[in-house]
Amino acid sequence: MVIHGWPGSFWEYFKSIPLLTEPVNDVAFEVIVPSIPGYGFSDAPQQQGFDVTQTARIFVQLMKRLNHNRFIVHGGDWGSMISRAMAVIYPQNVRGLHLTMAANPMDGFSMVKQAIGSYFPSLIFNEPEVEHKKLYPQWDKIKFIIRETGYMHLQSTKPDTIGAVLNDSPSGLAAYILEKFSTWTHPDNVNKHDGGLTEKFTLDELLTNIMIYWTSNNVVSSVRYYKESFLRFLELKVDSIPVTVPTAVCDFPQELMRTSQTLIKGLYKNLVQFSDMPRGGHFAAFEEPKLVVDDIRSFVQKVLKQEQSEANKPKSI
């Protein structure tokens, strides 16, 4: 199962699906690409309180109905939070967790470590993290996040206000979404007159994603998902519960929130693969489908070997 986020859709994976279903070394995948309820052509929730954990429950139930009681799950953006929740709440169903956005822990100790690492990187971070300046200089990272996350505050507090505006204007909806596909692909695109949009996507690809929101009339419910999920997610502290299933993380250099292997290893007890990707941003599978698919294949091979090793262990009497 692969799970999208906002302002993406199932369309983000149209280039990845053929690469996953095509046999390589006699291994091919059956790929399930659902829309988050309230996104794409999925019905919007009818009651308050439909959040990440409820989505996790529905998606696990969907897989069971498709006769997949155990499966690999991949996610980016909201998909990363949903798939992580699936692994935490339903570890008996999730064989492996593959993420392209794995947030660093937000507890006080981790925040102090990040602050120290901003001034004395080698004391906290490993050599590749120091070399690539993943999480420092800290102020530069904070300024970037402040610039790019105004939408998040708005959608988490007043979703119906912005939703009404987007639902009333196709050009407004296009501008709102395309701006994210510009600067979330590469922050330097903010200075380009065309936003650098066609450097990673075609206009037809971008317009298809916009039309999925417009024709489904689901943009209001998609932004409301922020209000329903954020506070609830923090209250339940799902993000701080360690994941025990085999996990892989792809860290893309232009991702909104970079991931540090040093900081997340306590949250992912069975981190079997961590990949520093050579290029790509927030919409990883849409921008660089082959990189993502190759990483998934590499991860699944390790999961299978780990399962075989566990199966071969002598059983205690």
Q: Kindly state the tokens that stand for 74.
A: 């991949």
User: Looking at 226, 251, 268, 295, which residue is catalytic?
Assistant: 226
Beta bridge partners of 113: none
Active site residue 282: yes
CB 14 within 8 A of CB 43: no
User: Looking at 90, 251, 282, 295, which residue is catalytic?
Assistant: 282
Instruction: Count CA within 13 A, CB hemisphere, residue 41.
Output: 7
CB 292 within 8 A of CB 18: no
**What is the DSSP secondary structure assignment for residue 13, as one 8-state letter?**
G
Torsion angles phi and psi, residue 285, rounded to 5: -70, -25
User: Looking at 39, 51, 74, 77, which residue is catalytic?
Assistant: 77
Q: Kindly state the tokens that stand for 87.
A: 């692994």
**What is the DSSP secondary structure assignment for residue 217, as one 8-state letter?**
T
Residue in 305, 273, 303 with CA at minimum distance from that of residue 94: 303
Active site residue 77: yes
CB 93 within 8 A of CB 60: yes
By annotation, the residues acting in catalysis are: 77, 226, 282
